[in-house]
């Protein structure tokens, strides 16, 4: 089977809530099964701690070694998803953003001619438990990072909301709404909420959902109250391109 046919098509959205672009997608079903197995086995074996490299207040953070990904569909999927992101960003920068430029046609013709070399420079799994959190941080030593979710933070996930007595409606009654809480959500911060623009956005984790975005984009995870674990994996990449665009290549 041809290499590029091994991974099913990825459903994705190019999300541009502010300056930097974010790719939001669903891990293809076949890949998800294998990927989840890899993640759960890393969590079970607990071979290499990753917490000393990270900002999170999380006990269970473990390195995903290259050996467990070697020649798997998951490894192939990771590279394809990052290349997809690079192509989409290049397209935005050279076609959409430059549509009114004098050389717009030339730029559009050249937008698909670029090569990207993707190098994975780190990977880990987070198994967050009740009251743990990940403070605002970015990922250094890479130009692209990613997050993959292996938990559904639906209303069944939560046992309670954080500080329930502080949640009251205008009549002073306590309101506990686990279906709309931001507890356990990921917040991505680009800047302050200036006039007519959004500075930060929140993402509620869903099984199989993933995000790819620049490594310097700040993000954090809020604490939550649940007996269940909030499991996610992240990989950092160093991508080089011949596009001449500023991707933070080193
Ligand atoms: Fe992070």
How does pLDDT run across 136-150, given as a tens digit for each residue? 999 999 999 999 999
- Which 8-state DSSP code applies to residue 148? E
Alpha-carbon dihedral sign for residues 38, 32, 73, 188: negative
Confidence of residue 180 (pLDDT cuts 50, 70, 90): confident
Inside any domain, residue 68: yes
Least confident segment among 142-146, 149-153, 165-169, 220-224? 165-169
Q: How far is the CA of 85 from the centre of ligand 1 (A)?
A: 18
Q: How far apart are CA 140 and CA 152, in angstroms?
A: 28
Supply 233's token pair: 């994996």
Q: How far is the CA of 190 from the centre of ligand 1 (A)?
A: 14
Domain count, the chain: 1
Q: How far is the CA of 233 from the centre of ligand 1 (A)?
A: 10
Q: How far is the CA of 196 from the centre of ligand 1 (A)?
A: 27
CATH, residue 47: 2.60.120.620
Burial (CB < 10 A; 0-12, 13-18, 19+), residue 91, is middle
Q: How far is the CA of 82 from the centre of ligand 1 (A)?
A: 17
Tell me if 81 sits within 8 A of 25, measured CB to CB. Answer: yes
Inside any domain, residue 6: no
Inside any domain, residue 4: no
Q: How far is the CA of 236 from the centre of ligand 1 (A)?
A: 9
- For residue 241, give the H/E element and its range: strand 230-241
Domain containing 36 equals: 11-239
Inside any domain, residue 155: yes
Tell me if 209 sits within 8 A of 149, measured CB to CB. Answer: yes
Tell me if 141 sits within 8 A of 236, measured CB to CB. Answer: yes
Inside any domain, residue 163: yes
Inside any domain, residue 22: yes
Q: How far is the CA of 22 from the centre of ligand 1 (A)?
A: 14
- Which 8-state DSSP code applies to residue 96? I
- Which 8-state DSSP code applies to residue 141? S
Sort residue 126 into left (φ over 0), alpha (ψ -120 to 50) or beta.
Answer: beta
The DSSP string of 46-76 is --SB-GGGS--B-SEEEE--HHHHTT-HHHH
Q: What does the radius of gyration of the chain's CA atoms come to, in whole angstroms?
A: 19
Confidence of residue 1 (pLDDT cuts 50, 70, 90): very low
Average the pLDDT over 31-35 and give the result: 97
Q: How far is the CA of 220 from the centre of ligand 1 (A)?
A: 7
Inside any domain, residue 246: no
Q: How far is the CA of 205 from the centre of ligand 1 (A)?
A: 14
Instruction: With CA atoms as reference, report the closest residue to 97 among 87, 106, 108.
Output: 108
Q: How far is the CA of 81 from the centre of ligand 1 (A)?
A: 18
pLDDT of residue 2: 41
The residues that bridge with 11 in the sheet, in sequence order, are 26
pLDDT of residue 245: 81
Q: How far is the CA of 170 from the centre of ligand 1 (A)?
A: 36
Confidence of residue 184 (pLDDT cuts 50, 70, 90): very high
Q: How far is the CA of 219 from the centre of ligand 1 (A)?
A: 6
| Mean pLDDT of the residues in the chain | 92
Inside any domain, residue 245: no
Q: How far is the CA of 145 from the centre of ligand 1 (A)?
A: 8
Residue 134: C-alpha distances to residues 11, 61, 158, 221, 230 (Å): 28, 11, 18, 5, 12
Q: How far is the CA of 105 from the centre of ligand 1 (A)?
A: 38
Instruction: With CA atoms as reference, report the closest residue to 235 among 219, 215, 217, 209.
Output: 215
Q: What is the pLDDT of residues 55-86, one digit of tens each?
A: 888 999 999 999 999 999 999 999 999 999 99
If one counts every other C-beta atom within 10 angstroms of the C-beta of residue 136, the result is 12
Q: How far is the CA of 108 from the centre of ligand 1 (A)?
A: 33
pLDDT of residue 3: 45
Supply 5's token pair: 């046919």
Q: How far is the CA of 109 from the centre of ligand 1 (A)?
A: 36
């Amino acid at each position: 089977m041809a290499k590029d046919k091994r991974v099913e098509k990825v459903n994705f959205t190019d999300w541009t809530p502010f300056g930097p672009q974010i790719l939001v997608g669903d891990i293809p079903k076949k890949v998800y099964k294998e990927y989840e197995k890899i993640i759960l086995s890393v969590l079970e074996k607990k071979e290499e701690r990753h917490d000393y490299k990270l900002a999170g207040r999380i006990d269970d953070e473990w390195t995903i070694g290259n050996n467990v990904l070697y020649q798997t569909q998951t490894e192939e999927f990771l590279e394809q998803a990052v290349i997809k992101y690079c192509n989409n960003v290049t397209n935005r920068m050279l076609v959409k953003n430059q549509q009114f430029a004098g050389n717009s046609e030339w730029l559009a013709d050249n937008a698909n001619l670029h090569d990207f070399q993707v190098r994975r420079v780190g990977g880990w799994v987070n198994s967050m438990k009740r009251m743990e959190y990940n403070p605002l941080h970015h990922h250094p030593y890479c130009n692209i990072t990613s997050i993959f979710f292996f938990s559904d933070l639906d209303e069944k996930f939560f046992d309670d909301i954080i500080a329930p007595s502080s949640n009251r409606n205008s009549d002073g009654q306590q309101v506990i709404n686990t279906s709309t809480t931001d507890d356990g959500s990921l917040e991505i911060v680009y800047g302050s909420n200036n006039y007519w623009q959004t500075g930060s956005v929140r993402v509620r984790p869903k099984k199989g959902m993933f995000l790819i975005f620049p490594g310097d984009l700040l993000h954090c995870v809020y604490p939550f109250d649940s007996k269940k674990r909030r499991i996610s994996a992240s990989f950092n990449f160093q991508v080089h391109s011949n596009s001449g665009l500023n991707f933070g290549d080193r």
